[in-house]
Amino acid sequence: MIVTRRFLFASAGLLAAPAIARSQSGAAPIRIGEVNSYTAIPAFTLPYRAGMELALAGINAAGGVLGRKLELLVRDDAGRPADAIRLAGELVGEQKVDILAGGFLSNVGLALSDYALQAKKLFVAGEPLTDAMVWEKGNRLCFRLRPSTYMQAAMLVEDAAKLPAHRWATVAPNYEYGTSAVKWFRQLLQAKRPDVTFVAEQWPALGRIDAGATVAALAQSQPEAIFNVTFGPDLTNFVRQGNTRGLFEGRAVVSVLTGEPEYLDPLGEETPEGWIVTGYPVQSVTDAANLAFIAAYRERFKEAPKMGSVVGHALITSIAAGITKSGSVETDALAQGFPGAVFATPFGPASWRAQDHQSTLGTYVGRTALKDGRGVMTDWRYVDGAAALPSDDLVRSLRPA
């Protein structure tokens, strides 16, 4: 079922409905238990929560799903897998949620996916990017929304392969997301450019980068181009030290996520120009779906949305579409009904791919630039997630039967 624009974007008055809604028709609400790293990654997760609230209010104002309101129960895992599992257990065992959702860090998302399989609850992962979630460690009850590390690497490789650089270095946080992103970027780039070599790798601890030492080590290897996977405060520190020490002068940089407002805005005047990035050029998009979403979000929250806002909104609409197609909130019915479900997002329609439960939501690829003292994305294009997905044969070779 295609979710209509009315389903996505209600009027400003209706959008003021409470984010945690109780059924007014007498039918029990459909309960979504959402676990995320709110205190650990607030720059992304707070806009993400706002996006969920916006979608929830619009859906409930339009009558809910299967004649029932949606109810959102939110928990904070502080970026710790053990806490995420404990909180998911409380949501399933005590709160009797119908569906589990959320996750930011890849290791937390994998832990939640494993717990949900054992607890026999459908889990919809919004943000975790590791491919293991839908491939090596995929299961019938786990679905993932955002473009994966493979997909984002594939999008960036199209431009990276056109660079004259032969010698590459990489810098990425030393956990599942970082290692997955580097693996796929290397494989996909070398498939297009057999002449490319990787001369250095840096693996700083997440949230604890020694940016000076990292920059010095990269410079010593004398790369012609750098693939960057750091984000958040680590990215800010890396860019500051790289600017100070001249690391980026005369070198191309290809960077995952850097064009997202959550990570680009804090760079301000320090934004390096000309990086090839994935992100969200919220200030310059012109398509109807984005403009409607931005207007509704501004009306409710008095600020522009961020990428987290898009992910949170799409998470709720994708769950609503999956439930509608399933016709039930029983776990087995959801597992059979979600594959192939089509849902509306601020970036346009997307669907749940049956082969691996990866959504076809895409993202934007462009270059960083400075405008009026702030970082922006220029020369951008939207890449449909369906165009960046691997072949069915590759998925079959990686995903357990």
First-to-last C-alpha distance (Å) of the chain: 27
Q: How many independent structural domains does the chain possess?
A: 2
Mean pLDDT computed over every residue of the chain? 92
What percent of the chain is modeled with pLDDT above 70? 93
Domain that holds residue 386: 150-283+364-398
Tell me: do 97 and 159 sit in the same domain: no
Q: Residue 268's pLDDT band (boundaries 50, 70, 90)?
A: very high
Nearest CA among 205, 32, 176 for reference residue 108: 176
What is the predicted pLDDT for the residue at 401? 65
Model confidence at 15: pLDDT above 80:
no
Residues 188 and 82 in one domain: no
CA-based R_g, the chain, Å: 21
Comparing 95-99, 304-308, 390-394, the range with the smallest average pLDDT is 390-394
The DSSP call for residue 189 is H
Query: Are residues 9 and 131 both part of a single domain?
Result: yes
Q: What pLDDT score does 21 carry?
A: 39
209 or 11, which is more confident? 209
Do 23 and 33 fall into the same domain?
Answer: yes
Q: Are residue 195 and residue 254 in the same domain, yes or no?
A: yes
Judge whether residue 5 has pLDDT over 50.
no
Locate the DSSP E strands across 77-210: 99-102, 123-125, 142-144, 167-171, 197-202
Provide mean pLDDT across the span 318-329: 98
Query: 122 with 167, same domain?
Result: no
Across residues 106-134, what is the average pLDDT?
Answer: 96
Q: Would the pLDDT of 18 be above 90?
A: no
Residues 266 and 319 in one domain: no
Report the pLDDT value the prediction gives residue 32, as an integer from 0 to 100.
98
**Local structure of 124: helix, strand or coil:** strand
Q: CB 66: neighbour CB atoms within 10 A?
A: 14
260 shares a domain with 325: no
8 Å CB contact between 168 and 190 = no
Both 95 and 49 in one domain: the answer is yes
Per-residue pLDDT of 190-232, as tens digits, reads 999 999 999 999 999 999 999 999 999 999 999 999 999 999 9
Helix (H, G, I), strand (E, B) or coil at 80: coil
> Is this model's pTM higher than 0.95 or not?
no
Whether residues 274 and 387 share a domain: the answer is yes
Locus of tokens 């895992």: 77
Tokens matching residue 180: 């997955």
pLDDT in tens, 150-193: 999 999 999 999 999 999 999 999 999 999 999 999 999 999 99
Q: Which residues have a Cβ under 8 Å from the Cβ of 290 and sit 6 or more positions away? A: 282, 346, 347
- How many CB atoms neighbour CB 174 within 10 A? 14
Q: Residue 110: CB partners within 8 Å, gap ≥ 6?
A: 81, 128, 130, 132, 133, 137, 176
Nearest-CA neighbor of 278 among 177, 189, 158, 196?
158
Longest alpha-carbon distance in the chain: 67
Residues 169, 249, single domain; the answer is yes
CA–CA dist 54, 219 (Å, integer): 45
DSSP string, 83-109: HHHHHHHHHHHTS--SEEEE--SHHHH
Give which of 102, 145, 92 is closest to 321, Cα–Cα: 145
Mean pLDDT, range 73-84, rounded to an integer: 96
Structural contact between residues 312 and 48, judged by C-beta atoms closer than 8 angstroms: yes
Among candidates 244, 303, 233, 310, which has minimal Cα distance to 266? 233
Neighbour count for residue 60 (Cβ, 10 Å): 25
Instruction: Report the distance separating Cα 370 and Cα 377, nearest Å.
Output: 9
Q: How far apart are CA 96 and CA 66, in angstroms?
A: 18
Mean pLDDT over residues 51-57, rounded? 98
Kindly state the tokens that stand for 244: 């100070």
**In angstroms, rounded to a whole number, what is the distance separating the alpha carbons of residues 61 and 80?**
35
Both 220 and 245 in a single domain?
A: yes
- pLDDT at position 400 is 79
How many CB atoms are located within 10 Å of the residue 358 CB? 27
Instruction: Inform me whether the pLDDT recorded for 264 exceeds 70.
Output: yes
Contacts of 345 (CB under 8 A, 6+ apart): 289, 310, 313, 314, 317, 318, 361
| Residue 1 reports pLDDT greater than 90 | no
For residue 43, the domain's CATH number is 3.40.50.2300
Say how many C-beta atoms besides its own lie within 10 A of residue 386's C-beta: 15
What are the tokens at 221? 């290897």
